[in-house]
Amino acid sequence: MAYDPRARGPHPVGVHTTEVTREGRLLRVELWYPASDRYAGADSDPGMRDAFSPFPGAPTTWQAAVRDAAPRLGAFPLALFSHELGGHRRQSTFLCTHLASHGYVVAAADHEGSTTADLLDLARQVESGGVTDLEPVLADLAAARPAELRALIDSLFGGSARAVTRSLQRERVAAIGHGVGGAAVLAAASADPRILVAITAGPPALDAPQMAPLAGALEEGFGRVLPVLTIAAERDAVTPLSSARELVSQIRAPTRLAVLKNADHYHVCDQAERMHEMFRELPIPALAGTADELAPFAELVPAERSYRVVRALCLAHLDAFVKARDGAKDALAHALSGRISGPTDEAVDVELG
């Protein structure tokens, strides 16, 4: 069968929530993993797939995974996912479950102070005048992330969530991040040679306080070959396309830039329309843009089209450089040439760094 990174993988997907301790703090972690064949079809069954509320007060949603399903026997690479400022560990299950179905164990932590609930609280503090200078707040939050990601690798390799993580291939680690999470995975990769490949989506401008942890890596390089894929949105009003282009020009590693046509910042999140419209109303222009800058979602590409492209780009990049899978590099080349969705469903353009 020809390699197709758009298609769901051959494995049913399980999901498990655990906790990791770092410097006396507990990080809530979501793990997605290949499940036993006896769960085939269950992860897409409305009666069996996992339902959850992404943050207090939010409506219940679902993910294409079975809660605490028995793990599949085998050895699998680890892929980290670091959410955006104002996101959460389950913000992109459309991608995390896709990777798990293709034989990855995917781990995402709630970064304390940076979740959706945290950002909504920060917005209230800005409105009330309790917070008047955001830069030091954002800088402190960003500075903690790379160490959190490295601690997550240590904990998972050290045996936490043993039923799932005993199957991890320690020599194969990838890292994916959105927004400030993208800066964090690159900074973590600069300090941790276990990370073989990185993907950053919608990165902030290089002079943003969230990018400070990355400065050293860009200045000194990564000390090894680190294939980097940057995914940007053509109409991103939160982190403009120019920011991604600037970052790509500074990365001293094999790098590619894929641009999602007519998409905005939240096209790499579940329920993209709801996320987009919520942040249009957020009263912190420095974080989320204003209603005038963020176009109504109806003017943008439908979310599912962007999901197909993001899933395929990320999987092909990981398969090419983590698993060295036959056909993955060719599929990635096709994806980066704009042919990922077929001639009538173009949603990606590319610039090579």
CA-closest candidate to residue 115, choices 269, 307, 243? 269
- DSSP β-ladder status, 13-22 and 25-34: antiparallel
Residue 181 pLDDT: 96
Model pLDDT, residue 200: 97
Record the pTM. 0.93
Gyration radius of the chain's alpha carbons: 19
Predicted confidence at residue 68, as pLDDT, reads 97
pLDDT of the chain, 353 residues: tens digit per residue: 689 999 999 999 999 999 998 887 789 999 999 999 999 999 999 999 999 998 777 789 999 999 999 999 999 999 999 999 889 999 999 999 999 999 999 999 999 888 888 877 887 887 788 877 878 888 888 899 999 999 999 999 998 888 898 889 999 999 999 999 999 999 999 999 999 999 999 999 999 888 988 988 888 889 899 999 999 999 998 899 999 999 999 998 889 999 999 999 999 999 999 888 877 776 555 554 544 577 889 999 999 999 999 999 999 999 999 999 999 999 888 777 765 544 445 456 666 55
Q: What is the pLDDT of residue 347?
A: 58
- Which residues neighbour 96 within 8 Å (Cβ) at sequence distance 6 or greater? 30, 32, 81, 90, 106, 108
Q: Which domains does the chain have, with CATH numbers?
A: 13-231+238-257 (3.40.50.1820)
Q: What is the pLDDT of residue 229?
A: 96
